[in-house]
Chains A and B, each alone.
Chain A
Amino acid sequence: MAQTRTHFELFELPVSFDVDLSDLSQRYRELQRVVHPDKFVNATDRERLLSVEKAAVINEAYQVLKTPQRRARYMLELQGVSFDDEKDMAVEPAFLMEQIELREALSEVSQMADPIATLNSIMADIKKRIAGVIGGLREGLEQGQLDEVQKNSLKQSIHKMQFLNKLQEEAEYQEENLLDAL
Chain B
Amino acid sequence: MALLQISEPGQSTNPHEHRLAAGIDLGTTNSLIASVKSGLAETLPNENGEVSLPSVVRYTENEIVVGANAKSMAAEDPLNTISSVKRYMGRGLKDIKELGGRRPYEFVDTDSVVPRIHTVAGDVSPVEVSSEILKSLKIRAEASLGDSLTGVVITVPAYFDDAQRQATKDAGKLAGLNVLRLLNEPTAAAVAYGLDKQEEGVIAVYDLGGGTFDISILRLNKGVFEVMATAGDTSLGGDDLDYAVAKWIMAEAKINDDASHHQMRRLMRDACSAKEALSNAGSTELTIELDNGSSWNGSLTLKKFNELVAPLIQKTLLPCKRALRDAGVDVAEVKSVVMVGGSTRVPEVRNKVSEFFEQELLTDINPDTVVAMGAAIQADVLVGNKADSDLLLLDITPLSLGLETMGGLVEKVIPRNTTIPVARAQDFTTFKDGQSAMSIHVLQGERELVSDCRSLGKFALHDIPAMVAGAARIRVTFQVDADGLLSVSAREETSGVESSIEVKPSYGLTDNEIETMLRDSIEHAEDDVGARMLREQQVEAERVLEALEAALADDGHLLNEAERKVVDNVANNLSELCKGNDLRAIKDAIAEVDTAAAEFVARRMDGNIKKALAGHNVNEF
Chain A residues within 8 Å of B, Cβ to Cβ: 1-2, 10-12, 25-27, 29-38, 41-47, 50-57, 59-60, 62-63, 172, 176, 179-180
Give the residues in chain A near B224, CB-CB below 8 Å.
29, 32-33
Cα distance, A51 to B551, chains bound together (Å):
14
Interface string of B415-457 (1 = CB under 8 A from A): 0001111111000000000000000000000000000000000
Known A46-B594, A51-B605; contact A56-B422, beta-carbon cutoff 8 A: yes
Interface presence of B381 (CB below 8 A): yes
Contact indicator B613/A30 (Cβ below 8 Å):
yes
14 A-B residue pairs with Cβ-Cβ distance under 8 Å, sorted by A, are A12-B617, A30-B613, A31-B609, A33-B392, A35-B608, A36-B392, A37-B482, A42-B546, A42-B547, A52-B421, A52-B479, A56-B423, A56-B479, A59-B420
Of the candidates B318, B321, B601, B616, the one having the most CB atoms from chain A within 10 angstroms of its own CB is B601
Leading 8 A-B pairs by shortest Cβ distance: A37-B482, A34-B608, A56-B423, A41-B382, A34-B612, A43-B547, A56-B421, A30-B612
Interface presence of B98 (CB below 8 A): no
Shortest Cβ distance from residue A170 to the other chain B in the assembled complex, whole angstroms: 11
Contact indicator A36/B482 (Cβ below 8 Å):
yes
Known A33-B392, A44-B597; contact A27-B616, beta-carbon cutoff 8 A: yes
Cα distance, A52 to B611, chains bound together (Å):
19
Contact indicator A44/B608 (Cβ below 8 Å):
no
Chain B, range 595-616, C-beta contacts under 8 Å to A: 597-598, 601-602, 605-606, 608-609, 611-613, 616
Cα distance, A43 to B419, chains bound together (Å):
22
Shortest Cβ distance from residue B306 to the other chain A in the assembled complex, whole angstroms: 19
Interface presence of B181 (CB below 8 A): yes
Interface presence of B518 (CB below 8 A): no
Contact indicator B181/A41 (Cβ below 8 Å):
yes
Chain B residues within 8 Å of A, Cβ to Cβ: 151, 180-181, 221-222, 224, 226, 318, 321-322, 325, 378, 381-384, 392-394, 418-424, 479, 481-482, 543-544, 546-548, 551, 593-594, 597-598, 601-602, 605-606, 608-609, 611-613, 616-617
Contact indicator B616/A42 (Cβ below 8 Å):
no
Cα distance, A134 to B28, chains bound together (Å):
47
Contact indicator B481/A34 (Cβ below 8 Å):
no
Contact indicator A44/B544 (Cβ below 8 Å):
yes
Give the residues in chain A near B378, CB-CB below 8 Å.
38
Contact indicator A42/B423 (Cβ below 8 Å):
no
Shortest Cβ distance from residue A123 to the other chain B in the assembled complex, whole angstroms: 11
Q: Which residue of A lies closest to B222 (CB)?
A: A29
Of the candidates B226, B421, B598, B611, the one having the most CB atoms from chain A within 10 angstroms of its own CB is B421
Give the residues in chain A near B181, CB-CB below 8 Å.
38, 41
Contact indicator B605/A47 (Cβ below 8 Å):
yes
Contact indicator A31/B612 (Cβ below 8 Å):
yes
